[in-house]
């Protein structure tokens, strides 16, 4: 029940905030919201010992059984890690936001969006059903869009939110296709059942397409190269949003998906090289670009991209153990996955603290531009302490937790050279070389954060506010995080035993649990990875001191040819041409609209008949045609042809009525009196209405159109008629698919109706009514919002 409560409670509070907010005059709404993640985090911690003992907790609620969709929750070691980060860091972020955001802000909206995101993230990590996971996955994109665009009066905020949503939702749609492909392969949406049938899945022809589609969703969400371009623009969000979404939670969703699906895809060479390769490229590209940034938040954005690439590459390297199966040799490669999980936690601690530190600097000084900063150490000593601990941990220096996981990362890249599959013996050297190079740049930008912000000369004339230390309320949350940074370094094996080991069992379910726990030690002697760290420090210091001399290398990369520039050009081209293209076919002429519809209809339907053997007609098996049927057919043909030559509107309406009444007589002949009665009533009403309306219109005038236009219309009409006739003849003997009539014959048991036709109509009418109600409800919400929407003072110019 705890899992269902964890998912639903944030949604319930989000729905209640608009009503509660009105009655909280003297109490900050954030204090009430803070209770949700604190309670959930506290309850989840009570499950840690049981999860460490190998227990799992699952619960299934039937949702749409006919489509094999159920709301199945699953709590194991892997979901425990993410849920603790979501609720734990979420608690600290909300506490920080209480002091960071002004009470003049629209706080009820902010916390409503934040709770929506929290509930959606918990839904992602607790869902065992792929379709439910996808629903929560896209809800994280929607809620993050709202949070990034919270300061919607800023053009950059709206653009950043739009870019983030465009890229992540596009990847999400690809991931949905991958999930559906997996269902086609295995016949189940359950992740546990997919893992149980991994041998059958990997032998299927659709295995690799499904894998790549799922990875596309994971890469876009976790800002992997080349989809990382949305993350720097998302920094326009308030700092609490950046600290929560873009360091600890949302960007970890793709990494979680890769970890969760590793037992299914991990034993394949394509998975190994794609995950590890994309991760290592992202690691380098993010660290390389972080050095060139002047905005502290942009620097942290690229550093986040880099660190996410590090974690992703480790999961890729660790997947080699799936291919080898359990053995003493394969246990070497499971250490990469252990390092990935360890660094996932470490990154959330030091990066969350650093985002909050930058928020404090911006809040108290008025700028994040390192060219205007400097000399703040004496004026902001507590903030300086947070910056030093967080930055040095990210750089991989002792005595901070980042040092431990960075050493394990180096060891994993060196150990992979021993692998004798997947052509690693030929290309494996790439991993330690790129890892070490990227770590040098990581060291450089970490020193930039501290050195350019807190050392050097103070420039008060270039600051927007007199610099001073932040209030204690803003310092609590980052100090808690840096306390974990130091505490984990000295007591890492507590985390390893109770948190990391159970998650390893989730990723390697066929391996013995006691073999998956690594002993973490800061004092591991003189090793290759320690020498690599020493080299990083030496070269990093030299590069930092000579930064002005070599920084010009970034000018070689023209802004015209960056991925971001290409994205902007594509979006700009689409926006500029979309109006032209729309006006091209939406020209206000009803005739053209019918032409478009008919041409597409004929192309698709008739084209299907031409390119396949679907047309099957055997007139020998048809019933005999009676003389009175021929008479009715002649009347309908006569009326249809006469319509073409009618010169008056009244005549046209009457001839059209002849066609309708003739159809009703056919229903009588075919012994369908209810349909005949319906047709007669509808035809009578519509004919009367047409006569009433057209009586006041002038007579039809002869169109002055060319023969070519007439010929084209006649051609289209003939093709449409022929296509409909082909469809009608084909359905009589079409046997490629099982007919659905057997299902509807059981109408009495299924829907309580003895008349099949009435039952079908009733069911469809019910769906139609339900959808109409939903449309009206949405329209009503839109109208209500427009009525209630009031622009705040200073927000009238939306482009500012």
**pLDDT score of 740:** 73
Identify each DSSP E strand in 20-144 by its residue range.
57-64, 69-75
Upstream peptide bond of 200 is cis (omega within 30 degrees of 0):
no
Which bin fits 207, alpha (ψ -120 to 50), beta or left (φ > 0)? alpha
704 exposed, middle or buried (CB, 10 Å; 0-12, 13-18, 19+)? Answer: exposed
Give the C-alpha separation, 401 to 426, whole Å: 33
**pLDDT score of 800:** 39
**Residue-wise pLDDT tens digits, 304-316:** 999 999 999 999 9
Q: Which of 292, 272, 408 is nearest to 340 (CA)?
A: 408
**pLDDT score of 746:** 75
Find where tokens 């969000």 sit: 237
Dig out the tokens for 428 from the structure.
């494996």
DSSP 3-state of 502:
helix
Q: Indicate whether 543 pLDDT > 60.
A: yes
Q: Indicate whether 747 pLDDT > 80.
A: no
**pLDDT score of 799:** 41
Give the C-alpha separation, 406 to 403, whole Å: 5
Q: Indicate whether 798 pLDDT > 70.
A: no
- Find the farthest-apart pair of alpha carbons in the chain and give their distance in angstroms, rounded: 105
Band of residue 797 on the pLDDT scale cut at 50, 70, 90: very low
Average of per-residue pLDDT across 25-31:
84
Find where tokens 């290409």 sit: 566
Question: Looking at the domain covering 612-744, what would its CATH class be?
Answer: mainly alpha
**Residue-wise pLDDT tens digits, 640-675:** 888 878 777 778 888 888 988 998 988 888 888 888
Give the C-alpha separation, 274 to 169, whole Å: 21
Question: Of 289-293, 694-698, 761-765, which one has max mean pLDDT?
Answer: 289-293
Give the burial string for 241-261 (b: 16+ CB within 10 Å, else e).
bbbbbbbbbbbbbbbbbbbbb
Q: Indicate whether 613 pLDDT > 80.
A: no
**Residue-wise pLDDT tens digits, 141-161:** 999 999 999 998 889 999 999
Of residues 69 and 316, which shows the higher confidence score?
316
Q: Which of 229, 336, 329 is nearest to 275 (CA)?
A: 336
pTM, two decimals, is 0.83
Torsion angle defined by CA atoms of residues 719, 720, 724 and 730, in that order, rounded to the nearest 10 degrees: 30
Average of per-residue pLDDT across 730-744:
72
Of residues 692 and 83, which shows the higher confidence score?
83
DSSP 3-state of 528:
helix
DSSP class of 292? T
Sequence-separated (6 or more) residues with CB below 8 Å from residue 196:
none
**pLDDT score of 796:** 44
Band of residue 702 on the pLDDT scale cut at 50, 70, 90: low
Give the C-alpha separation, 273 to 750, whole Å: 51
DSSP 3-state of 460:
helix
Q: Which of 640, 564, 661 is nearest to 229 (CA)?
A: 564
Of residues 373 and 2, which shows the higher confidence score?
373
* H or E element in which residue 663 lies: helix 649-669
Least confident span in 5-9, 49-53, 245-249, 502-506: 245-249
Torsion angle defined by CA atoms of residues 136, 142, 146 and 147, in that order, rounded to the nearest 10 degrees: 50
Give the C-alpha separation, 156 to 160, whole Å: 6
Give the C-alpha separation, 699 to 701, whole Å: 6
Instruction: Work out the number of other CB atoms within 10 angstroms of the CB of residue 618.
Output: 9
Dig out the tokens for 87 from the structure.
């609720």
Of residues 82 and 514, which shows the higher confidence score?
82
**pLDDT score of 795:** 47
**Residue-wise pLDDT tens digits, 393-448:** 999 999 999 999 999 999 999 999 999 889 888 899 999 999 999 999 999 999 99
Average of per-residue pLDDT across 561-574:
86
Least confident span in 17-26, 78-87, 729-738: 729-738
**pLDDT score of 640:** 86
Instruction: Work out the number of other CB atoms within 10 angstroms of the CB of residue 622.
Output: 11
Band of residue 277 on the pLDDT scale cut at 50, 70, 90: very high
296-318 and 430-454 helices cross at what angle (nearest 10)? 160
Sequence-separated (6 or more) residues with CB below 8 Å from residue 684:
none
DSSP class of 37? H
């Amino acid at each position: 029940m705890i899992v269902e409560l964890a998912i639903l409670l944030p949604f319930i509070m989000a729905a209640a905030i608009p009503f509660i907010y009105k009655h909280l005059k003297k109490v900050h709404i954030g204090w009430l919201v803070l209770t949700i993640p604190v309670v959930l985090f506290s309850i989840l911690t009570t499950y840690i010992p049981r999860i460490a003992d190998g227990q799992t907790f699952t619960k299934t609620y039937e949702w749409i059984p006919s489509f094999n969709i159920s709301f199945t929750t699953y709590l194991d070691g892997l979901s425990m890690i993410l849920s603790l980060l979501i609720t734990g860091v979420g608690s600290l972020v909300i506490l920080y936001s209480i002091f960071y955001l002004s009470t003049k802000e629209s706080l009820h909206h902010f916390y409503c969006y934040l709770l929506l995101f929290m509930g959606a993230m918990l839904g992602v990590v607790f869902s065992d059903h792929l379709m439910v996971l996808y629903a929560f996955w896209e809800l994280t994109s929607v809620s993050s869009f709202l949070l990034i665009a919270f300061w919607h009066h800023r053009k950059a905020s709206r653009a950043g939110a739009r870019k983030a949503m465009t890229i992540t939702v596009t990847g999400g749609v690809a991931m949905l296709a991958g999930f559906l492909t997996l269902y086609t392969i295995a016949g189940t949406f359950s992740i546990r059942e997919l893992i149980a049938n991994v041998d059958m899945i990997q032998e299927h022809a659709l295995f690799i397409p499904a894998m790549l589609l799922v990875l596309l969703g994971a890469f876009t969400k976790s800002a992997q190269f080349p989809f990382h371009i949305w993350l720097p623009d998302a920094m326009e969000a308030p700092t609490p949003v950046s600290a929560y979404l873009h360091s600890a939670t949302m960007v970890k969703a793709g990494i979680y998906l890769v970890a969760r699906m590793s037992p299914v895809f991990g034993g394949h060479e394509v998975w190994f090289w794609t995950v590890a390769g994309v991760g290592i490229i992202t690691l380098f590209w993010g660290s390389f670009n972080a050095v060139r940034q002047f905005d502290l938040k942009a620097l942290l954005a690229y550093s986040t991209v880099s660190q996410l690439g590090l974690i992703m590459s480790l999961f890729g390297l660790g997947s080699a153990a799936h291919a080898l199966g359990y053995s003493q040799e394969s246990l070497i490669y499971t250490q990469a996955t252990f390092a990935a999980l360890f660094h996932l936690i470490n990154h959330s601690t030091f990066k969350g603290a650093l985002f909050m530190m930058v928020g404090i600097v911006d809040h108290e000084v008025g700028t994040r531009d390192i060219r205007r900063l400097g000399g703040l150490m004496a004026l902001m000593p507590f903030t300086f302490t947070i910056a030093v601990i967080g930055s040095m941990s990210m750089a991989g220096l002792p005595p901070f937790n980042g040092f431990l996981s960075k050493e394990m990362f180096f060891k994993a890249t060196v150990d992979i050279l021993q692998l004798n599959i997947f052509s690693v013996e030929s290309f494996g050297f790439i991993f330690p070389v790129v890892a070490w190079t990227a770590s040098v740049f990581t060291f450089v930008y970490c020193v930039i954060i501290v050195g350019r912000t807190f050392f050097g000369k103070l420039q008060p004339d270039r600051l927007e506010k007199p610099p001073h230390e932040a209030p204690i309320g803003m310092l609590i949350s980052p100090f808690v995080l840096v306390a974990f940074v130091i505490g984990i370094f000295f007591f890492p094996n507590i985390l390893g035993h109770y948190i990391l080991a159970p998650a390893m069992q989730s990723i390697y379910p066929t391996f013995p649990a006691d073999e998956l726990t690594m002993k973490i030690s800061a004092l591991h002697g003189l090793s290759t990875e320690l020498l690599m760290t020493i080299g990083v420090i030496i070269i990093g210091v030299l590069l930092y001191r000579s930064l002005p001399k070599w920084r010009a290398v970034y000018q070689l990369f023209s802004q015209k040819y960056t991925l971001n520039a290409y994205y902007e050009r594509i979006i700009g081209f689409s926006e500029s041409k979309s109006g032209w293209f729309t006006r091209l076919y939406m020209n206000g002429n009803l005739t053209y609209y019918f032409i478009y519809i008919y041409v597409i209809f004929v192309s698709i339907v008739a084209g299907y008949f031409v390119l396949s053997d679907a047309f099957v007609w055997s007139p020998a098996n048809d019933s005999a045609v009676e003389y009175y049927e021929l008479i009715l057919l002649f009347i309908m043909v006569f009326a249809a042809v006469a319509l073409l030559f009618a010169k008056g509107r009244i005549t046209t309406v009457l001839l059209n009525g002849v066609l309708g009444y003739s159809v009703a007589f056919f229903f009588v002949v075919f012994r369908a009196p209810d349909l005949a009665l319906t047709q007669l009533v509808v035809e009578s009403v519509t004919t009367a209405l047409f006569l009433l309306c057209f009586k006041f219109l002038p007579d039809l005038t002869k169109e002055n159109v060319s023969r070519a236009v007439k010929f084209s219309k006649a051609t289209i009409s003939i093709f449409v008629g022929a296509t409909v006739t082909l469809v009608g003849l084909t359905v009589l003997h079409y046997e490629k698919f099982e007919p659905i009539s057997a299902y509807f014959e059981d109408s009495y048991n299924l829907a309580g109706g003895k008349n099949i036709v009435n039952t079908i109509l009733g069911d469809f009418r019910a769906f139609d009514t339900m959808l109409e109600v939903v449309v009206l409800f949405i329209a009503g919400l839109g109208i209500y919002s427009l009525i209630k929407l009031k622009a705040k003072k200073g927000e009238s110019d939306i482009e500012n």
